[in-house]
Structure 1
Amino acid sequence: MTIALFPEPKIRDVHVEDRPRERLIRQGAQSLSNQELIAILLRTGTKQESVLTLSNRVLTYFEKLHGLKHATIEEIMSIKGIGEAKAVQLLAAIELGRRLSQKQVDERFTIRSPQDAATFLMPEMSSLQQEHFVVLFLNVKNQVMHKQTIFIGSLNSSIVHPREIFREAVKRSAASIICSHNHPSGNATPSPEDIEVTKRLQEAGYIIGIELIDHVIIGDHQYISLKEKGYM
């Protein structure tokens, strides 16, 4: 028995009003699925499959949209049907999204609560694959004057030395600081080392006269404030 094989429908076979590009123009980008948005960036599929099928394979490869934040050009190009040009288009869109997200919380951002600190830090820090220890230097109005990554690597009390942090705080004439680091595992629960480092920095701040307001741990779209948890 011979089984008839039917070619996969192409975008041109989809009714004009239902095509992603036309729907975006008519209804706005927010009305499109992740698959459709990626299809617009890829523009075309291959001889064997439609651009919608190709975009769905991209999402499957990276285990939904979140995984694309860490994608490299080599990983994207390893997907059948995606060459250098398509990979570059995707990476450019990802980077623009990251920069726009960070720009929204930059420039004299005022921190009144741990939630504010998390809002400022999370767009960048929740996607990092290594631990980053970041310090926010605030003025007397609790506005962020400067943000600096102090070190990259696993948190250790011998590495996170108060001298490095408070030297920068004095240089910036900061009234107070907020420390933060991320947990690449996604779980923001503080470790004993996190708590020990926080207490050392808090004690140093009291002596110098520059208050450590909080230490915020960033996970996967979640955060924990050590101040709220009563560790400081």
Structure 2
Amino acid sequence: MSTNTCNKTVLKNVPYYDRPRERLLRVGAIHLSDTELLAILLRTGRENETAYQLAARLLATFGDLHGLAQAAHSELTEIKGIGQVKAIELQAALELGRRLHSTPRQRRAAIRLPRDVAELMAPELAHLTQEHFVCLFLNTKNHVIGKQTIFVGSLDSSIVHPREVFKEAIRRSSASVICLHNHPSGDPTPSREDIAVTHTLREAGELVGISLLDHVIIGDGKYISMKEQGYM
């Protein structure tokens, strides 16, 4: 019997709760118990003790995750099977969880008007020496949930392809998209290429069900909204 076949046979005979990595891939981390998640962090147990069993013993020793999070490094290393490295990794993971819980979520920018787009992005784009075509991805409340630079260089409808724009929009589960780019000359007056790209993206958005809300051109201290100018 080959080594791979032997490993698969051994894994098949291991109880499901001793295979937390496989369970996480199958059902997602949210459905795993505290013991299973700890076992993934520990990776290995000791002789005659699996990582799952070691994790269960840890929780029993300190009461629960809160007690484990309060444990000193020296207290952790007193547990058989928990060496210096495992103790450090556990403390780092628990501290990350604490910070995530205690840090307020950053407020997302809301886009109401073309001016909001310009104020948000002009500091980043206005002084660039090349054109940057950027997409803002919005949720149903017009909050920005993502940003992606799609292309750098002279704008052309054959280069800025709808596939790249809406692939990102779909990946982020966006409700709508706002496109923008800068004019290094400082003059935001739309070119024929700008107008053509806008029409192409608007039509593509209608097909996939993700609206193109606007295409904003950033100049030096000024901007132009293709929607306000009647190009959409």
Q: What TM-score comes out, normalization by structure 2 length?
A: 0.54
> Could you tell me which amino acid in structure 1 is paired with residue 167 of structure 2?
R
1:185 match: secondary structure: coil
Partner of 2:170: 170
Kindly tell me the number of residue pairs found equivalent between the two proteins: 127
Over 3 Å counting, the alpha-carbon distance change for 1:138 and 1:131 in structure 2 is same
After TM superposition, give the deviation of residue 155 of structure 1 in Å.
0.1
> Could you tell me which amino acid in structure 1 is paired with residue 193 of structure 2?
E
Question: Within 2, Cα distance between the matches of 1:107 and 1:209?
Answer: 27
> Could you tell me which amino acid in structure 2 is paired with residue 166 of structure 1?
F
Q: Does 1:115 align with 2:115?
A: yes
After TM superposition, give the deviation of residue 221 of structure 1 in Å.
1.1
Question: Within 2, Cα distance between the matches of 1:107 and 1:124?
Answer: 19
Q: Does 1:225 align with 2:222?
A: no
Partner of 2:29: none
What is the 5 A alignment of 1:134-153? 134-153=134-153
> Could you tell me which amino acid in structure 2 is paired with residue 196 of structure 1?
A
Question: Within 2, Cα distance between the matches of 1:172 and 1:196?
Answer: 25
Question: Within 1, Cα distance between the matches of 2:220 and 2:107?
Answer: 24
Partner of 1:186: 186
Question: Within 2, Cα distance between the matches of 1:138 and 1:128?
Answer: 24
What is the 5 A alignment of 1:54-69? none
Question: Within 1, Cα distance between the matches of 2:193 and 2:124?
Answer: 23
What is the 5 A alignment of 1:193-204? 193-204=193-204
2:169 match: secondary structure: helix
Cα root mean square deviation, aligned: 1.0
Q: Deviations over 1:101-132 (max 9, x none)?
A: xxxxx951000000001111101100111000
Question: Within 2, Cα distance between the matches of 1:197 and 1:126?
Answer: 20
Question: Within 2, Cα distance between the matches of 1:156 and 1:192?
Answer: 9
**Unmatched runs of 5 consecutive residues or more in structure 1:** 1-105
Question: Identity of aligned pairs, percent?
Answer: 65
Question: Within 2, Cα distance between the matches of 1:107 and 1:121?
Answer: 16
Question: Within 1, Cα distance between the matches of 2:148 and 2:167?
Answer: 12
Q: Which runs of 4+ in 1 moved over 3 A?
A: none
Question: Within 2, Cα distance between the matches of 1:229 and 1:186?
Answer: 18
2:214 match: secondary structure: strand
| Conserved? CA contact 1:107–1:144, under 8 Å | no
Q: What TM-score comes out, normalization by structure 1 length?
A: 0.54
1:187 match: secondary structure: coil
Q: Deviations over 1:198-220 (max 9, x none)?
A: 00000000000000000000000
Question: Within 1, Cα distance between the matches of 2:107 and 2:208?
Answer: 27
> Could you tell me which amino acid in structure 1 is paired with residue 174 of structure 2?
A
> Could you tell me which amino acid in structure 1 is paired with residue 121 of structure 2?
L
Q: Which has the larger radius of gyration?
A: 2
Question: Within 1, Cα distance between the matches of 2:206 and 2:193?
Answer: 20
